[in-house]
Structure 1
Amino acid sequence: MVQSQPVQAFMTTPVQFVRPDTPLTEVIRTLNACHISGLAVCDHQDRLLGEIGAKDLMVRESGLEPGPYMVFLDSVIYLRNPLRWEREVHQALGETAGDVMNRSPHTCTPTLRLQGAAALLHDAGTERLFVVEKGELIGVFSRADLIRAMAAEAGAT
C-alpha cells in the first residue's frame, strides 16, 4: 500500500532554490522555467530560511486593499490586523526573494509516511513540504508528488 511508504520514495530532488538576495524577476523566471509553483529560499550554507511561491507573488501583482475600516470622531480606524497589513505592504514593495518569502516553510522528515504527509498538506493548506534531514534540505514533497504516489498505487491494482 502506497500510503505506508515514506515521503522519501516520491519526493522531488534536487530541490530548486534561490537565495534571499535573488531579485524577484529571477524568481519568476525560475518558477516559469521549471514549471513549479514554489521555491525554497536558502542561505549560503544551504539552510532553509523560507519559501516563495506564486501565492506570495500574488500580493505584489494584485495590489493592496486597506481592508475594513470605520470613521470615528474624524479618525480612520482600520479593523485589520496591523501585523498582517505590514507584511502585505512589505511583500508588495519587496524586490528580492527575502522581502517576499514566507518565513515559516512547512517541513517534514524523509521517513514520514504518505498518509501523514497528505494530512500535513491538507491541514496546512500548503502546496509543498520541504523534506529536511539532520538540518539539511534533501527534497521537496508536493501535492503533485502525492498524486503521483496515488497513481502508482492505482496502476498497481
Structure 2
Amino acid sequence: MYVETIMTTEVLTVEEGTRMSHLAGLMQARRIRHMPVVDGDGALKGIISHRDVQKASPSDITTLSTGEVNYLLSQLTAKDIMHRSVTTCTPDTLVEDAACLMREQTIGCLPVVKEGKLVGILTGVDLLDFFLDITGCRSKDASRICIRLEDRQGVLSKLLGCLSELGGYVVSVMTPQNQSPGVGLERQVIVRYRADNPRELNRQLQERGYELLSAELPEG
C-alpha cells in the first residue's frame, strides 16, 4: 500500500511571513502538532512543530510585561522558527518504508511532495489508523485466534484453507516470525475471522491438531 492511500490531504499550511502569534493560535485551535510552510505556489519551504512554537514562546516565569511579550511575538514569523531541512516522501512511497523513515529519523510526520509541491502529510496518527485497519481489530463481529505454526512452507496456506473449509471468513492475518529458546524459528499467526459458530470452529481446529495460544470471541 502506498502513502497516498492513507495520508492526510487536507493540510493546514502557512507561509513564511505568518506571524508567531497566529501560528500558535492555529495549532491550538486545530489541535495539530505539525504545520508545513509553503510559498505562494505550494512548494514546501519548511515545517514547524508544536515544540518549535513552545521554544520560541516566552517562559511562564518571564519578567517581561504583557505588552513586551506581545511585541516580541509579533516580530517572529514562521520563517524565523521553521526547520528548513525537511525529510519528505512521495505519494508512491510504500507505507512501511515511510514508517521506517519516520522511526529512523525520530520525526513525527512526513510531508508528502509531488513535483516539488506539497500534496499531503503523513502523521503518526495516520500510521496508527493504518495499523488498526490491517490488524482488523475494529471488526467487532470477528473472532481472534493466535496459533503457533512451524516456520516452513505451506503451513499457513493449509491453516487458512482449513478455516475456509470449516466455514470461516478470514478478515485479517498477521504472521510475525520469532526465535523461541529450545524451539527455533516459529510463527505465531494471528487470524481474525467471521463464522456462524466461532466456538465450534475453534474446537474443530484443535481437533485437527492446531495449538490455539489464545482465542477471543466477538463482543456481545
Q: TM-score range by the shorter chain?
A: 0.7 to 0.9
CA offset at residue 130 of structure 1?
0.5
> Please, which of 88, 108, 132 is the counterpart of residue 89 of structure 2?
108
Query: Hey, what does 1:145 align to over in structure 2?
Result: 126
Matched to 2:77, the amino acid is T
Query: Counterpart of 1:146 in 2: which secondary structure?
Result: helix
Which of the numbers 11, 36, 39 marks the counterpart of 1:15? 11
Structure 1 counterpart of 2:112: 131
- In structure 2, distance between residues paired with 1:146 and 1:27: 25
TM-score (norm 1): 0.74
RMSD (Å) for aligned C-alpha atoms: 1.8
Relative to structure 2, which stretch is displaced further, 53-62 or 121-130? 53-62
2-structure distance, mates of 1:51, 1:62: 21
Sequence identity (%): 30
* Alpha-carbon separation, structure 2, partners of 1:60 and 1:10: 32
**1:59 shift after superposition:** 2.0
Q: Would you say the 8 A contact 2:16–2:79 is kept in 1?
A: yes
1:121 and 2:117 equivalent?
no
Q: Counterpart of 2:16 in 1: which secondary structure? A: coil
In structure 2, what is the equivalent of residue 26 of structure 1? Answer: 22
Asked if the contact 1:107–1:131 (Cα under 8 Å) also holds between the matched residues in 2, the reply is: yes
CA distance in 2, matches of 1:154, 1:26: 40
Q: What's the offset of the Cα at 1:55?
A: 1.9
| Structure 2 match to 1:72 | none
* One of 54, 57, 65 as aligned partner of 1:58: 54
Q: Distance in 2 between matches of 1:53 and 1:94?
A: 19
Letter in 1 for 2:6: F
Report how many residues are paired.
125
CA 1:122/1:62 → structure 2, altered by over 3 Å: closer, same or farther?
farther
List structure 1 runs of 4+ shifted beyond 3 angstroms: none
Alpha-carbon displacement from aligned partner over 1:74-99 (angstroms, at most 9, x marks no partner): xxxxxxxxxxxxxxxxxx99611110
**Contact 1:94–1:100 at 8 Å: present in 2 too?**
no
TM-score (norm 2): 0.54
Q: Does 1:48 align with 2:44?
A: yes
Relative contact order, higher structure (CA 8 A, sep 6+): 1
How far 1:135 moved relative to its partner?
1.2
Gaps of 5+ in 1: 64-91
Counterpart Cα distance in 2 of 1:54 and 1:8: 24
Report the CA distance shift for 1:134/1:57 in structure 2 as closer, same or farther (over 3 A). Answer: same
